[in-house]
Amino acid sequence: AQSVSQHNHHVILSEAASLELGCNYSYGGTVNLFWYVQYPGQHLQLLLKYFSGDPLVKGIKGFEAEFIKSKFSFNLRKPSVQWSDTAEYFCAVNARGGADGLTFGKGTHLIIQP
């Protein structure tokens, strides 16, 4: 079975600060990795995903994430956050090539102070 661990449950930053949210997963096989964002009152939206290839993936809104296989990690980064980045961020994983739904981490509530 898969599991996903997000280390930071609540993060408060000032605008223009750099952001890194940790995500580690546990699974014995090859996985697909995702970061989703949920803005207040809105749907889950895909920020970025990693299936294979370049382990540094770029997503929407200036976000990027790096897959480090040896550490089973897929940390999310943004060099300079904005007030509009205030949201809940979820890391998720599923097995590559299977028919599984996603296993989510518990989420990180990010608050950006103006």
Query: What does the binding site for another protein look like in residue numbers (CB under 8 A)?
Result: 32, 34, 36, 42-46, 49, 90, 94-107
Residue 10, burial from CB neighbour count under 10 angstroms (0-12, 13-18, 19+) = exposed
By C-beta, is 42 or 70 nearer to another protein?
42
Please state the closest distance from residue 46 (CB atom) to another protein, in A.
Answer: 6
By C-beta, is 55 or 98 nearer to another protein?
98
User: How far apart (Å, rounded) are the C-alpha atoms in residues 89 and 109?
Assistant: 6
User: How far apart (Å, rounded) are the C-alpha atoms in residues 86 and 46?
Assistant: 15
Please state the closest distance from residue 101 (CB atom) to another protein, in A.
Answer: 4
By C-beta, is 28 or 97 nearer to another protein?
97
Identify any residues that bridge with 20 across adjacent strands, giving them in sequence order: 77
